[in-house]
Structure 1
Amino acid sequence: MPKAAQMTIIIPGILLLVCLFAMMPVVLHFGPGDGGLQFSWGQGFQSLKDYITGLGTGESFTYYSGKNEHHFWERIGSYFLTSFYYVAAASILGSAIGIFVGIYFAVSKAGWAKSIADFVGALPDFVIVLILQFIIVLIAKETGVVLFEVATLSADDPAVVLPLLAMIIIPANYMVRNVAMQMKLTLTEDYISNAKAKGLGKIYIIFYHGLPNVLPYVKGDLHKLMGIVMGNLFIVEYLFNNKGVSILLFAHAFVGGEYQYDIVVNGLFSFLLLYGLGYALLRAFLYGVGKVFLR
């Protein structure tokens, strides 16, 4: 099937899946009496119907924050740009660090560094965030110097560096292990032995013979890498209280005990756009790396 035809099926399917996922808090609820789980598909599809109808009137793009009504298009810009900043940084910097550190691990005997990377890779993302915050608090307590903000308490004093570190560490660590494994396998190939026999330098062989043959494997894992980045975004924005799309969802999904289906759908669509932009940036970055080290 042509790729264009596949996309005409996949994209509407993803959009429908988002709409169905967003209606779960409406569909699933505990019944009275025994408190058993009940399904109210009628209410869920009514929410979807109201959303589709509201697209024409604009009602699907309004939501409440407390008793105040806001328009989604007027507010999403700042939230989206904050999230995009972290997604872009995590994608590009995490991949760049991961590729070059992964190459170093593949050709060196830095066992202690590999052990640290394996340990960090085994930690959940929220634990990494808490460790970073704890280190800054400990340094501030011992020295009186606050190196970085540990959370965003106001728009005038946002936490920037620690969220950025937390966003970069996990995708970079994943990329390090992936590149190191593929580079080790690549350096055992016959064409590498042939290049060595010709007297080519080690650095040249690694970057102009090995790396171009590792990059296709990296490109094949981009969706998994973007999944890690987007999952990390939820945790980082929530724990650091950064005003991104995650906070928009967390703060306004339920207001006054009422579930706001419209803002959840719009927020999830924003995440899809973030995912697409991050994926495009990664593809462009790897394309550029491939061109630089093309023989």
Structure 2
Amino acid sequence: MLRSLQQLVIIFLLILSLAALPKLITIQEDENRLVWNFEQLPVIYGDFISEISKGSLGTYQLGTQRREISEDIGSNFFTSLKIVLIGVGVSVGISLFFGIFISRFRLTKLFNFILNILSAIPDFILIILSMMLAVKIYKVTGVRIISLRSDAGALNLWFPTILVSLAPTLYMFKLVSVKYFQTSGEDFIKTAVAKGLSLNYINFQHVYKNVEPFIKAELIKVISLAIGNLFIVEYIMNVSGITKFIFQSNEVQPIAIGLFSMLIISGIVYLSVRLLLYLFKRGFIYE
């Protein structure tokens, strides 16, 4: 309990310190150097805690307006949460489906070949190329699949979700594929094959059980990849998500609230995927 409390305090201080960087760094033009004002940190910590203790999240600047963060954060939070949750869920689902359950088909080999090519391209370049392809499709067919308007609704939601899921899918599929082939060479799998058990039974009851711990262990990294892409996608595609409070302000309060919200989103996604894996195991895997 004490250790968990210490970790929470450290995370709190680190996030506030990161949010306070614009206030901590000043440039002395006469000497052409950066100056760190760490003495402001206690004041920043105190102001943030004082604002929260009043029951307010503070304010932020939107254009020429000064708005309450609490008025806008709800819709932005759930927009980012949906994008990351669906993106990570899709990446795990695709990796399990192609990496284990239909891994013996030629379609999976083609899918693996395509993903290996895409994995060699940086995430940022993949996102830009995907947007260029969407624009090209619109010019050729007249079908609009993306929108850069913040009020475009589903049109500005499903495509960002696909882009956010790219990096997690590439990483998770390669992990599952490697672990699948490693597990397939184990003696207990060879014994199950020799007994005449069906491949589907072996994949569900034996292979998945041995691959699942690696999926759980790497889930945090998968979510971090999705969060990293979320910053890029929401900024480039003008999505009204939680990163708006981080990009559109140099004040401590909105940046800190945005970063804390990202942490909460990561926790919700992690617990949700773990729950889905648990339900899948309870429903299809015999203990």
TM-score (norm. length: structure 2): 0.91
Give the match's secondary structure for 1:151: coil
Superposition pairs of residues 2-17 of structure 1, within 5 angstroms: 4-17=1-14
For structure 1, the residue ranges without an aligned partner over 5 or more in a row are: 255-259
Provide Cα deviations, 1:155-184, integer angstroms capped at 9, x if missing partner. Answer: 568412321211222211211101001111
How many angstroms does 1:154 deviate by?
3.5
Give the match's secondary structure for 1:193: helix
Alpha-carbon distance in structure 2 between the residues aligned to 1:188 and 1:293: 23
Provide the residue aligned with 1:180 in structure 2.
177
Amino acid at match of 2:89: I
Provide the residue aligned with 1:257 in structure 2.
none
How many angstroms does 1:62 deviate by?
2.2
Residue 290 in 1 paired to residue 284 in 2? Answer: no
1:126 to 124, 127, 133: 124
Residue 68 in 1 paired to residue 59 in 2? Answer: no
Closer, same or farther in 2 for the Cα pair 1:93/1:60, shift >3 Å?
A: closer
TM-score (norm. length: structure 1): 0.89
Alpha-carbon distance in structure 2 between the residues aligned to 1:202 and 1:60: 55
Provide Cα deviations, 1:17-39, integer angstroms capped at 9, x if missing partner. Answer: 11111111111222121321111
Alpha-carbon distance in structure 2 between the residues aligned to 1:129 and 1:150: 14
Closer, same or farther in 2 for the Cα pair 1:105/1:26, shift >3 Å?
A: farther
Alpha-carbon distance in structure 1 between the residues aligned to 2:171 and 2:20: 33
Provide the residue aligned with 1:205 in structure 2.
202
Provide Cα deviations, 1:230-289, integer angstroms capped at 9, x if missing partner. Answer: 1111111111111000123212x23xxxxx111111111111110110111111111122
Provide Cα deviations, 1:26-68, integer angstroms capped at 9, x if missing partner. Answer: 1122212132111111233322222222223356522232442
Q: Give yes or no for contact 2:180–2:211 (8 Å, CA) kept in 1.
A: yes
Alpha-carbon distance in structure 1 between the residues aligned to 2:102 and 2:201: 17
Q: Which moved more, 1:181-190 or 1:9-18?
A: 9-18
Alpha-carbon distance in structure 2 between the residues aligned to 1:30 and 1:71: 30
Question: In the comparison of the two structures, how many residue pairs are matched?
Answer: 285
Residue 99 in 1 paired to residue 90 in 2? Answer: no
1:272 to 258, 263, 276: 263
Give the match's secondary structure for 2:129: helix
Give the match's secondary structure for 1:149: coil
Q: Give yes or no for contact 1:62–1:263 (8 Å, CA) kept in 2.
A: yes
Give the match's secondary structure for 2:151: coil
How many angstroms does 1:108 deviate by?
4.9
Superposition RMSD in Å: 2.0
Alpha-carbon distance in structure 1 between the residues aligned to 2:182 and 2:153: 50
